[in-house]
Structure 1
Amino acid sequence: MQVRTSLPMEREPCVLALGNFDGVHLGHRKLLLHGFEQAVVLGVGLDVLIFEPHPLKVLFPERGVKLLSSTQERLQYMEELGVHTVYHLPFTLEMANTSPEEFVEKILLPLGVMHVVVGFNYSFGAQGKGNPELLQALGHKHGFGVSVLQAQTIDGRVISSSSIRKAILQGDIQLASSLLGHLPCLRGTVIHGEERGRILGYPTANILTSDDFLIPKRGVYAIWSLIDGRRVLGMMNIGMKPTFHEMYDTVVEVHFFDFDGNLYEKEITVFIEARLRDERKFDGVNELLKQLDKDCSTAKAVLNQTRDR
């Protein structure tokens, strides 16, 4: 798969999928599948256009939108799905002020689009004035087709990045996974913490996450990670350490069951299988240790059931 950060010098005929593709969830995959079908009919490749940063971060920074996936993760998913080329372009205020007509003429036509695939709620151009109906009209004018996919649902629930964010913030990992079509994850750099876990017999990797990404509801989770190519099981605590502190920043701590290496300064991704319990304050270290033993057993049982997935 090619990744380009600028428009091509010459038009290269393609079917183009448009969207943010945050999380590359099942709705996105349905859209891409439809794009593949159109590409086969036309005898061209399927390309994708994404912008960085997320347009909402530029247009509405006060909303503090948190992302489900990094750009690299989105690219990896798209490569696995067989996308031919991803155009990864910067989203600026100048781009935001481009009219729908200019967007088509200055962005889509130079890409050589023969057909465009979008979701029912896709918007483009200054102030979001461009909608799927206008895109179809502009496609008719300029000679390319447009497919508009309606909302995809599972058990009556609409699949969307916003609904997945809501599920994760509520700690509903099962729902989030079903909508994503894969496990939600956290990524970050392992840093030094208070090292209390090591003293207690439960050493943890403290993960510093980017402010750009969503952190699940506080609590304890069953997780796994790929470390040096090996799937390592563990449990994760997201919380404020109420047993030891009255006030503390929310931290992400991971205890791996079968790992004894040095992870400091390494970038790791944690895949979340299940939420085990809420965060709580314990009456001393002994009570905390008893609960950690229970959490460990529960997490191992959950992870052993999903080991072959």
Structure 2
Amino acid sequence: MQVIRQLPEKPNKDCVLALGNFDGVHLGHRRLLESGLEIARKKGIELSVLLFEPHPLKLLFPEKMIGLLTTSEQRLKLLEELGVDKVYLISFTHQMADTTPEKFVSDILLQLGMRYVVVGFNYSFGSKGKGTPEDLQGFGEKYRFGVSVLQAQTMAGKVISSSIIRKALLQGDIREAQNMLGRYPCLFGKVVKGEQRGRTLGYPTANLEFHEDLLIPKRGSYAVWTELNGKMIMGMMNIGMKPTFHEEYMTTVEVHFFDFKSDLYNQELSLNIVERLRDERKFSGVSELLDQLQKDAIQAKRILEHEGIQNSLYKSSVFR
């Protein structure tokens, strides 16, 4: 998959263009992209995706916490696996934010060689998001490109959306998030030094540092796995403020891997969250904490082994 980080100076070759933020690349996004891919293959042209970086809300409302489901790298990997041919990853600027809906179409979309566009039912574009899918259909008639508007995809009576997945993760409902994503929710971060208390307790942990815009699920303990050197490594993750040892502390993410000993400092890990084990709590002391960690480890291993995550033969496709 080709990634292009600037708009072409002259119109590019013909393509079907999928529009959206695609945060999480959930099953609703997947259906839209599959629709675009089907149209592209019938026409014998490429499927391209237009993405903006940073997220437009980051530029327009810098004081707001966005809570992204995926990093830029994760999103690109997911799009590639789905068969996207080309991604335009373009810087979002104030000038672009002030572009009228029609200028957005004529000066940006058509420059990408768009001959057909696929969008979701709630897609908005142009200055203050005034452009609607209906407007896009009108511009399609004027500029002679096709438009396909995909209606809401639902699951168990709920619309599949990034906002509902965020809500599920903040409530600790990993299964609902997983069902809507079509894969395990994932945290991507860099291993940094922590307090190093875990190794003294017999549960050494990797402490992860995340991008400030990424969503961190509800505090508590989770069964997780990651892939290292082609092997699936099982573990348990804790998200919390270490109330047993601190009255006040920042939220941290720590993961203890079972049957694994290696220096992971400065490595970037992708943690796949399988199930929530319990809430965060304050223990009376180290002894009570160790008893609970032992129970957590037994429960996490049972869950992960049931999921089939115990050896290097496990198929780690992002969409299962």
| Matched residue, 2:6 | 6
Judge conservation of contact 2:16–2:116 (CA < 8 Å) in 1: yes
- Name the SS of the counterpart of 2:63 in structure 1: helix
- Name the SS of the counterpart of 2:303 in structure 1: helix
How many residues are aligned here?
A: 309
- Name the SS of the counterpart of 2:217 in structure 1: coil
TM-score, scaled relative to structure 1: 0.98
2-structure distance, mates of 1:114, 1:190: 44
| Matched residue, 2:114 | 113
Answer with 128-137 or 224-233: which moved more.
224-233
Letter in 2 for 1:196: R
- Name the SS of the counterpart of 2:273 in structure 1: strand
TM-score, scaled relative to structure 2: 0.95
Q: Is 1:223 matched with 2:227?
A: no
| Matched residue, 1:27 | 28
- Name the SS of the counterpart of 2:42 in structure 1: helix
2-structure distance, mates of 1:266, 1:34: 37
Letter in 1 for 2:126: G
Deviation by residue 1:152-196 (Cα, 9 ceiling, x = unmatched): 101111111111111001100000000111111111111111111
1-structure distance, mates of 2:277, 2:183: 19
1-structure distance, mates of 2:75, 2:87: 10
Alignment of 1:1-309 (within 5 A): 1-8=1-8, 9-307=10-308, 308=314
2-structure distance, mates of 1:303, 1:218: 20
- The CA deviation at 1:40 is 2.2
Judge conservation of contact 2:117–2:146 (CA < 8 Å) in 1: yes
1-structure distance, mates of 2:11, 2:211: 37
2-structure distance, mates of 1:239, 1:10: 50
> Runs of 5+ in structure 1 lacking a partner?
none
2-structure distance, mates of 1:168, 1:91: 27
2-structure distance, mates of 1:161, 1:149: 16
- Name the SS of the counterpart of 1:233 in structure 2: strand
2-structure distance, mates of 1:194, 1:70: 26
- The CA deviation at 1:41 is 2.4
2-structure distance, mates of 1:30, 1:204: 38
Question: What is the percentage of aligned positions where both structures have the same residue?
Answer: 61
- Name the SS of the counterpart of 1:22 in structure 2: coil
2-structure distance, mates of 1:139, 1:62: 36
Judge conservation of contact 2:11–2:110 (CA < 8 Å) in 1: no
2-structure distance, mates of 1:128, 1:4: 24
- The CA deviation at 1:19 is 0.3
> Runs of 5+ in structure 2 lacking a partner?
309-313, 316-320
- Name the SS of the counterpart of 2:123 in structure 1: coil
Q: Detail structure 1 runs of 4+ shifted over 3 Å in the superposition.
A: none
- The CA deviation at 1:229 is 2.4
2-structure distance, mates of 1:33, 1:210: 30
- The CA deviation at 1:7 is 2.4
- Cα RMSD (Å) of the superposition? 1.0
